[in-house]
Amino acid sequence: MNMSMRLLSSAFACPTSETKQYRNVNFILSRSSVRVSSFVNKDVCNRNGRNTRVCCQLMHGHLEESYERKKKLQVSLQKPDFVRTLLIDNYDSYTYNIYQELSIINGVPPVVIQNDDWTWEELCHYLYEENAFDNIVISPGPGSPACPEDIGICLQILLECRDIPVLGVCLGHQALGHVHGAQVVHASEPVHGRLSEVEHNGCQLFHGIPSGRNSGFKVVRYHSLVIDSESLPEVLIPIAWTSTSTLPSIGSKVSDKYNGHEVQTDQSIFFDSFLPEAGNGSSNLIDYGQTRNARVLMGVKHSTRPHYGVQFHPESVATCHGNQIFKNFREITEDYWLRYRSLHNKEKRANSNGFKC
């Protein structure tokens, strides 16, 4: 891992004066109707003498905004100037590439914790008592979602936080499949720094992004595990898949044949957004009997929850339209909470008039 990135992770650099300030207090995220288990130990920044990687100054800013939003619960519905993300780091070298993207797109930097920094009680405290976050992003990482040491608290988030928008990237995507019963299996061959053209179903996560072969939507893949699309449960909907076999590796200029046509590919660009991920050899993983030209699942969404996953790396500079995916996830988050607030206000009006929805 890059040492400067690790220093950022341990010290958690706070936003500078140039960072966009928290302005709009009209976007209230009240979850008063949500019932969770009792919360413990509210002093989480230095719990039992253990220093977490959460910047207290930045965390305080998130909490301060939450208090202001609660006070303004009755204001008119409108979208916010910022979105507050909790970014779960699965001990990945380039989590801060995602951090940088979200800082710009959300209007405020996300809070980063590693997947074993907080207990479930601490997480629930910030999510449901303090209302400190609007959504969660689960980073890539090494290992397997079937291994507790690799995935930490992420599985419980995907299972229990049904009322909070979540985006899983690579390992986070695999975790979304695993927690709902899909098989995460060894791919027929590892894909290390390869580009693939992707087709999608036009759902909101891919709004404004072209689809299919020769569309210009190419993504960076770096993984040896995949969700077996044949094992998807009904609650998970496939939303993206490869439309061609993998293209040549980044940085190569080669001639290759796809469906009988010779293609010259020049990908001689430099970037450092590849995330090292490999299966941990767990015995519960089986080989995926796909051919080189078989379509590989690249994205899923939950049928009733605002939970999404992508197998590729939108934070990579070589992924076309990756920035748009993060923008779309912000839109998904805003729309979700606006609908929540609208329903909440409707219920309050009905109750005040003696009716129940």
pLDDT for residue 268 is more than 50? no
DSSP string, 93-149: TTHHHHHHHHHHHHSSPPEEEETTTS-HHHHHIIIIIS---SEEEE---SS-TT-HH
Residue of 101, 130, 277, 315 marked catalytic: 315
Q: Where do the domains of the chain lie?
A: 3-352
What's the pLDDT tens digit per position in 92-125? Answer: 988 999 999 999 999 999 999 999 999 999 999 9
Tell me how long the chain is: 357
What's the pLDDT tens digit per position in 169-194? Answer: 999 999 999 999 999 999 878 888 89
Question: Does residue 154 have an active-site annotation?
Answer: no
Residue of 62, 313, 320, 321 marked catalytic: 313
Better pLDDT: 41 or 88: 88
95-106 and 3-11 helices, crossing angle to 10°: 60
Contact status, residue 177 vs residue 229, Cβ threshold 8 Å: no
Amino acid at 138: I
List b or e across 34-48, with b for residues whose CB sees 16 or more CB atoms inside 10 angstroms.
eebeebeeeebeebe
pLDDT for residue 202 is more than 50? yes
CATH number of 3-352: 3.40.50.880
What's the pLDDT tens digit per position in 117-160? Answer: 999 999 999 999 999 999 999 999 999 999 999 999 999 999 99
9/34 Cα distance (integer angstroms): 31
When pLDDT is cut at 50, 70 and 90, the band that residue 79 belongs to is confident
pLDDT for residue 238 is more than 60? yes
Contact status, residue 140 vs residue 59, Cβ threshold 8 Å: no
At residue 188, the pLDDT reads 79
pLDDT for residue 355 is more than 80? no
Q: Which residue has the tokens 């790396």?
A: 313
Half-sphere exposure of 232 (CA within 13 A, CB side): 21
- pLDDT > 90: percent of the chain: 55
What's the pLDDT tens digit per position in 293-307? Answer: 478 999 999 999 999
Angstrom distances, CA of residue 174 to CA of 164, 178, 228: 18, 6, 10
Q: What is the pTM of this model?
A: 0.72
Question: Does residue 192 have an active-site annotation?
Answer: no
At residue 249, the pLDDT reads 56
Q: Which of 53-67, 76-90, 136-150, 260-274 has the lowest mean pLDDT?
A: 260-274
278/268 Cα distance (integer angstroms): 25
Residue of 55, 161, 170, 320 marked catalytic: 170
